[in-house]
A and B are shown apart, each in its own frame.
Chain A
Amino acid sequence: MAWRERLAGYAFVGPFLAVYAAVLVVPLVMGLYISLNNADLFGQREWVGLDNYAQALGDPVLHQAFGNTVLLALLIVPPLTAIALLLALALNRPGRFAAVLRGVFFSSLVLSVTIVTLIWRFILVPDAGLIAEGLEAVGRTPIPFLSDPDLVIPAIAVTTLWWSLGFPVMLLLAGLQQVPGDIYEAAALDGASRWTVLRRITLPAIRRTLLLVVMLQTAAQLQIFGQAQLLTGGGPGGASRTIVLYIFEVSFGRWELGYATAIAELLFGMILTLTLLQYWLVTRHEEPRA
């Protein structure tokens, strides 16, 4: 290739590479370095080796946050995937009504986390919240969703489900629309029931999209932050503190940047391992694609 063409190629990818390096690669490397130091927000650095990681492994607050985060991910990802799949199947048809509904389900996605938590505050708070009003109307005591240690995690999970549904639905709809129509016709001639079609035709056909949804959602929910911070501030008594919320508190509350970065690196490693594991589990029986 002529050097001019080469240069043009680099010129096209150059801006992206520069931004990618500046906002992703450099922080990633710097983060690794900072996690090996005692560091504060003013640039103070003191080499401590793996001390921060040792501290993390023995930190009871982090252990609690880890448990909360995993529980949230477990409460969110499977139902989110299932509900998104049902909605996508229901909305995967021509017609204006389905088109309007597709827009409706996608719309919650464009709301910022602040708005979402505000909406769910109106629903969940025990005094004058939507659910509380409903319960009082039938003579029941309002439930303190946001201050009962056993209820905050489910409350955050439901809020997140409502907020996050749109994108997986869109991904799955796109996946469904890629399935060639004639194999459904072949299945009709093969006398397949609707259930058989779903199980033997549709689900295998959108297997990769389902995997993508689960991987993206697992990665996203393990980093859950805004809903917990705004709905409960991690309370009561740390019952809803998530890992990222803890990282935030450690770095910007206690100014222990080195320790916070070490936790962040651990979280990064955990998410990477989990998503790769999911990918391997789903694709290990597949032949290389032609």
Chain B
Amino acid sequence: MYGLELIDVSKSYGATPVLDRVSLAMPPREFVAFLGPSGSGKSTLLRIIAGLESLDGGEVRLDGARIDHLAPGARGIAMVFQNYALYPHMTVRENMAFGLANAKVPGDEIARRIAQAAEILEITGQLDKKPAQMSGGQRQRVAIGRAIVKQPRLFLLDEPLSNLDAALRNRTRLELAQLRERVDAGMIMVTHDQAEAMTLADRIVIINDRRIQQVGTPAEVYARPANAFVARFVGSPAMAMVPATVAGAEGGRVRVRLAEGATLLTAVPADGLPEGAAVEVGLRPEHVRLAAPAGEGLPARVDLVERLGDRTYLYARLAAGPEIIAHAPGFSPVRSGEAVHLAIDAAAAHIFAADGTAHHPGARP
């Protein structure tokens, strides 16, 4: 049985469609991330699940029962808001007790749950403070605490880390992972930060342009993106897309010709990719390196060098114009403007047909 099920959920604001027949099934206790750019509809989808927005068509089910006609408070769902949405005039304790009191939970039970949540979140000493007296990170904990005490069947987290500074963000990310182990409920997190999605989620739902583009584990969406959008969106720096034409098949694998005339023998099965078809070759930075010995490989000119300490990314341009990103270990001495030669691991290349459909490399020979 599934925890949350979305069946053909559609929504438009006036004449503007924002979600188009979105379907998803989540096993109980799964942690799913909705990942997508701003305006992709991911927040709207979360708000529909919460009951803060109505849907125009489709169904939302939780543990087998339809919930889309229920009031938000009656759905067994708790939400952590992006700006925390704590009640400013209530103490931390009152903030956490509010929902339970509305649900007529007995006072001693409320006290017990608050004490337990406060201990988990290490805010026991803060229970009598008001939100305005707390730091952003502490407010975040209160917001999470307010959700935990309700013992919901599903947690919704709306960009939970976006208001925290970098150090706190990493720590909170760890804590969210730990929290997830503790609670007996599913979790959905909306984010536009793929690192959050990759590190926290069991599965990532990539949403763009009103639709779900792909649902898969972090490894799946990274290694086998369903289409050109997912390929470009997941991974940092992004996958380079180099225009090419299909030059033929060798041993069932596609050979492509780049604009420069160079050809690459990929590991992508040739089915469905006729000779002469215009395609894009998708190359992750880790599959493009500086050629050694120099002089072999594809000539390129470096536009920008990004040195991250343990690795360096070279943002370069092939002779015919297309951009490509190369990975070099450690602190590369290459300077921007320099001419280099790049070695491409053609067996790792993805191919995207003109309509965006992905063709992935098969098993390596």
Contacts and interface: CB of A to CB of B under 8 A. Distances in A.
A188 B52 contact: yes
Contact of A191 (B52, B82, B83, B102): B102
A200 B50 CA distance: 22
B167 interface: no
A192 B150 CA distance: 13
Contact of B85 (A180, A204, A205, A290): A180
Interface in A203-221: 204-205, 207
A64 to B, nearest CB: 43
A182 B98 contact: no
Contacts of A200: 87, 90, 98
A186 B132 contact: no
Given A287-B130, A287-B133, A190 B85 contact: no
Contacts of B79: 185-186, 189
Nearest to B131: A290
A44 interface: no
A287 B129 CA distance: 10
B99 interface: yes
Given A192-B73, A290-B132, A185 B102 contact: no
Contacts of A201: 87
A112 interface: no
A189 B46 CA distance: 13
Contacts of B150: 190
A192 to B, nearest CB: 5
Contacts of B78: 189
Interface string A67-92: 00000000000000000000000000
Given A182-B83, A183-B85, A192 B50 contact: no
B219 interface: no
A17 to B, nearest CB: 35
B103 interface: yes
B98 A192 contact: yes
Nearest to B102: A191
Interface string B285-307: 00000000000000000000000
A183 B88 contact: yes
Nearest to B50: A189
A192 B97 CA distance: 12
Contacts of B74: 191
Nearest to B129: A287
A190 B99 contact: yes
Contacts of B81: 182, 185-186
A31 B74 CA distance: 64
A190 B103 CA distance: 8
B89 interface: yes
Contacts, number: 72
Contacts of B50: 185, 189
Interface in B3-61: 50-52
Indicate the size class of the contact surface on chain B: 20 to 34
B72 interface: yes
Contacts of A289: 132
A72 B230 CA distance: 71
A205 B51 contact: no
B77 A186 contact: no
Nearest to A203: B89
Contacts of B133: 287, 290
B71 interface: yes
B28 to A, nearest CB: 20
A183 B99 CA distance: 12
A196 interface: yes
Contacts of B51: 188-189
Nearest to B74: A191
A191 B52 CA distance: 12
A205 to B, nearest CB: 7
A207 B90 CA distance: 13
Contacts of A196: 102
Contacts of B88: 183, 205
Nearest to A207: B89
Interface string B127-157: 0001011000000000000100010000000
Interface string A130-142: 0000000000000
Contacts of B82: 182
A204 B52 CA distance: 23
Contact of A189 (B73, B83, B86, B90): B73
A186 B87 contact: yes
29 contacts: A183-B85, A183-B86, A183-B88, A185-B72, A186-B79, A186-B86, A187-B87, A188-B52, A188-B73, A189-B50, A189-B52, A189-B73, A189-B77, A190-B73, A190-B146, A191-B99, A191-B103, A192-B99, A192-B102, A193-B102, A196-B102, A201-B87, A204-B89, A204-B90, A205-B88, A207-B89, A287-B133, A289-B132, A290-B132
Interface of A: 180, 182-183, 185-193, 196, 200-201, 204-205, 207, 287, 289-290
Given A182-B82, A189-B72, 5 more contacts: A183-B87, A191-B71, A191-B102, A200-B90, A201-B87
What 8 A-B pairs have minimum CB-CB distances, sorted nearest first?
A191-B73, A190-B99, A182-B85, A186-B85, A204-B89, A188-B72, A191-B102, A290-B132
